[in-house]
């Protein structure tokens, strides 16, 4: 079998390239234009830790050293001799010896280290690494520790990640790493609250209410300038990687379709092959025909749809809901007094909401079993898992969010305020931590003392949506047929959806395109998915 990852696992590593508003004091996931690696070793503390960590578990009272490797997204690796690193070692009983590798050369470095059997104990595997054939062959040769028999012994860690994300992150049916968490119910609509207020409208929650708001935003002059220059909704429909947030899949899942794929009646079923998906297409077509969404939805890219919203022309935008923070930075610069917020999970009248969930993670933290620097024994593996269990505690999460009082934050009026670095526009905590957040593990989002009303509302909405998440059943599955002709198959159904919405084909024409998809390889993809699902997930 070809050792490649199918699209769903690819998406797990690429859907969330923008910042997640998760309080991760490491870097954003952006590329840097350099190569090579910078090896950095942390300094040893006294191991007297305030929180039970790996050193204490062994009863030695000494720091346990963990060799690590992760991507470097900034120009310079952090100085791991500073107070933050020393305090972390003191609290956990673990000395971090980290090799920071620039992101542009990271996959090549992984490949080289696999070949030379010199991977460190722990390393981050992003989406590209998880698709690397060398890594997958090493995995199939028992080169990495499977964690299935261990993780429930570490309740802080297990509960921190959550059962669904552990399940989503499996490779070949096993847990080979700790997921780097991202928001599960992330896809949705951002809306102009000031326009709702101006037109005396309630926040839409049902499809009928959403349509009426889109109509009012288009026809009732919400910006009050006396001109017919506003439109209800803007979105972009380019690329398979956009399906999760471009509105089509969000609406289809809310109407009852699978989130990507579902296992039903003994077979895997794609969302675009269901009547519920067609219902969503008809709804989108009505918005399109009536002029309540952008006519160029199939032509503009993801960046352009946000740029258009930020100009103040549109009342709603499909995207990822945590981008509401950026909208509230950009939009008021153009429209004074503009306020963006998040639309609740949509539903049909009388039915519960359904949210098309993301995979809930972006890459995993893996544990090496072969080579000179590997984790040789179960005892050492448990020490490392104990360390990550400690990282999941609130005390350590606060260290990644606020740092040390007097060094990284001050308490004012009962709230912690980050101290800024004098020579940069960044918080001192960000400067001290650097990119280490990629391998230390952090929550998908964390509430902070400095949260605005909008941020608080966002986190409230996320927590409300979690009860309505619908998981893509194909996450982590493989298909040789899709590896070979997947781009052609994707194009057939994406083009069919666009053609239906703009009126180039009718419903019969759409189902003819679906039949074409089946004949061109879709039937084999379904069979291969079904076999994989029944082997690894059923």
The tens digit of pLDDT for each residue in 374-384 reads 999 999 999 99
Residue 437 binned pLDDT confidence (cut-offs 50, 70, 90): confident
Q: What is the homologous superfamily of the domain 7-182+361-446 according to CATH?
A: Periplasmic binding protein-like II (3.40.190.10)
pTM metric for this prediction = 0.83
First and final C-alpha spacing in the chain: 21
pLDDT of 191 strictly over 70:
yes
Mean pLDDT score across all residues of the chain:
88
For residue 289, count other CB atoms closer than 10 A to its CB.
12
Burial group, residue 506, by CB count within 10 angstroms (0-12, 13-18, 19+): exposed
Span 313-340, mean pLDDT?
96
* Calpha distance 38→36 (Å, rounded): 7
Residue 76 binned pLDDT confidence (cut-offs 50, 70, 90): confident
Span 24-52, mean pLDDT?
34
Residue 53 binned pLDDT confidence (cut-offs 50, 70, 90): low
Fold of 187-356+448-538: D-Maltodextrin-Binding Protein; domain 2 (3.40.190)
Tokens, residue 339:
């306020």
Q: Which residues of 260-273 are buried (b: 16+ CB within 10 A; e: fewer)?
A: bbbbeeeebbbbbb
pLDDT of 38 strictly over 70:
no
Q: Which of 71-75, 108-112, 494-498 has the lowest average pLDDT?
A: 71-75
Of 41 and 452, more confident:
452
Q: What is the pLDDT of residue 188?
A: 95
Burial group, residue 155, by CB count within 10 angstroms (0-12, 13-18, 19+): exposed
Per-domain boundaries in the chain: 7-182+361-446, 187-356+448-538
Q: Which of 49-53, 217-221, 242-246, 391-395 has the lowest average pLDDT?
A: 49-53
Residue 172 binned pLDDT confidence (cut-offs 50, 70, 90): confident
Span 344-352, mean pLDDT?
93
Span 121-147, mean pLDDT?
94
- 187-356+448-538 matches 7-182+361-446 in CATH topology: yes
* Calpha distance 241→482 (Å, rounded): 15
**pLDDT tens column, 207-256:** 999 999 999 999 999 999 999 999 999 999 977 778 889 999 999 999 99
Rg (CA), the chain: 24
Residue 480 binned pLDDT confidence (cut-offs 50, 70, 90): very high
């Amino acid at each position: 079998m070809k050792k490649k990852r199918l699209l769903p696992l690819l998406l797990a590593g690429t859907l969330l390239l923008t910042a997640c508003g998760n309080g991760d004091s490491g870097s954003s996931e952006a590329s840097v234009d350099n190569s090579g690696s910078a090896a950095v070793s942390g300094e040893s503390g006294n191991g007297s830790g305030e929180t039970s960590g790996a050193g204490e578990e062994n009863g030695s009272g000494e720091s346990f050293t963990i060799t690590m490797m992760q991507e470097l997204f900034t120009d310079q690796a952090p100085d791991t001799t500073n107070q933050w690193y020393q305090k972390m070692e003191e609290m956990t009983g673990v000395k971090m010896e980290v090799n920071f590798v620039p992101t542009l050369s990271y996959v090549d470095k992984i490949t080289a280290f696999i070949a030379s059997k010199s991977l460190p104990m722990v390393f981050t595997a992003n989406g590209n690494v998880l698709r690397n054939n060398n890594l997958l062959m090493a995995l199939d040769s028992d080169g990495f520790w499977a964690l299935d028999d261990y993780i429930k012994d570490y309740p802080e860690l297990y509960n921190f990640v959550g059962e669904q994300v552990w399940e989503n992150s499996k490779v070949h049916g096993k847990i080979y790493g700790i997921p780097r968490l991202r928001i599960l119910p992330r896809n949705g609509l951002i809306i102009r609250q000031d326009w709702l207020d101006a037109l005396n409208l309630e926040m839409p929650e049902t499809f009928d209410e959403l349509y009426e708001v889109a109509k009012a935003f288009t026809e009732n002059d919400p910006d009050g300038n006396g001109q017919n220059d506003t439109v209800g909704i803007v979105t972009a429909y380019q690329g398979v990687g956009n399906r999760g947030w471009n509105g089509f899949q969000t609406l289809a899942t809310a109407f009852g379709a699978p989130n990507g794929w579902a296992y039903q009646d003994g077979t895997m079923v794609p969302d675009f092959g269901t009547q519920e998906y067609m219902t969503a297409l008809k709804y989108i077509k009505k918005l399109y025909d009536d002029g309540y969404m952008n006519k160029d939805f199939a032509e503009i890219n993801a960046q352009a749809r946000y740029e258009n919203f930020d100009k103040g022309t549109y009342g709603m935008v499909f995207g990822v809901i945590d981008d509401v923070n950026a909208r509230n930075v950009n939009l008021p610069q153009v429209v004074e007094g503009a306020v963006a917020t998040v639309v609740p999970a949509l539903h049909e009248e009388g039915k519960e909401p359904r949210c098309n969930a993301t995979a809930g993670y972006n890459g995993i933290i893996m544990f090496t079993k072969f080579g000179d620097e590997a984790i040789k024994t179960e005892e050492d593996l448990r020490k490392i898992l104990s360390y990550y269990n400690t990282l999941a505690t609130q005390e350590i999460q606060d260290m990644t969010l606020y740092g040390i009082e007097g060094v990284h934050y001050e308490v004012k009026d009962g709230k912690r305020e980050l101290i800024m670095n004098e020579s940069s526009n960044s918080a001192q905590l960000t400067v001290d931590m650097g990119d280490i957040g990629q391998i230390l593990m952090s929550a998908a989002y964390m509430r902070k003392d400095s949260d605005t009303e909008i941020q608080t509302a966002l986190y409230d909405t996320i927590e409300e949506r979690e009860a309505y998440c619908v998981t893509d059943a194909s996450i982590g599955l493989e298909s040789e047929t899709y590896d070979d002709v997947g781009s052609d198959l994707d194009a057939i159904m994406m083009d069919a959806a666009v053609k239906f919405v703009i009126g180039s084909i009718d419903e019969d024409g759409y189902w003819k395109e679906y039949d074409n998809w089946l004949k061109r390889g879709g039937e084999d993809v379904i069979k291969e998915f079904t076999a994989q699902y029944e082997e690894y997930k059923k």
